[in-house]
Structure formats: structure tokens, C-alpha cells
Amino acid sequence: MTHVRVHISIPHQYQQEPIISRLISEHSLVVNITGAIVGTNLHEKGLFDLELNGTPEKICSGLLYLQTLGIKLIGKPNAEGDSWHY
């Protein structure tokens, strides 16, 4: 098992979509939300700090899923530890 930390920006059009739930159910990841800023306005994006736990293949699959939705990964996971890398 590996874990990485990512900071993501979810556009407002996905506010009603179960994106984080899909990381769990479809990509077999354990997801810990370590921080979040969610606006009350439907036109605001949501910012999330996530810790993803799983095999390297599953983590790559989950990150690719986020990217195919156009979800912005801010910074990138530091493969040599659990701290942020920008």
C-alpha cells in the first residue's frame, strides 16, 4: 500500500457528482479528506486536500480519472513522502 496527498480543485459543474465516492468504489482507494473549502454559491469551485491510500496502480488510476474530468490537481504528490510538492 502507498499513500499520496493531493490538493484538488473541483469545478462547480461537478458539485452534485459523487467524485470522491467514485475514487473509493471504482478505483478501490481509501480516501481521507484532510481539508476542504466548499462555497455556498453553486458557481464556486470546491478545494479539497485528500490523502489517497492504495496500490500505486490504483492511485494512478484514480488520479487519471480526476484528470479526465478536468479536475485540477494543484501541485503534485511527492512520491518520496507524504508532504506536498509544488
The model's pTM is 0.80
Q: What per-residue confidence (pLDDT) applies to 86?
A: 39
Domains of the chain (ranges; CATH) run 2-85 (3.30.70.260)
Q: How many CB atoms lie within 10 A of CB 77?
A: 22
What single letter denotes the amino acid at residue 81?
G
Considering 10-19, 38-47, 71-80, the range whose residues carry the highest mean pLDDT is 10-19
Q: Which pairs from 79-85 meet CB under 8 Å and 24+ separation?
A: 79/4, 82/3, 82/4, 82/5, 82/51, 83/5, 84/5, 84/7
Average pLDDT, integer, range 6-11: 89
Phi, psi of 3 (to 5 degrees): -135, 145
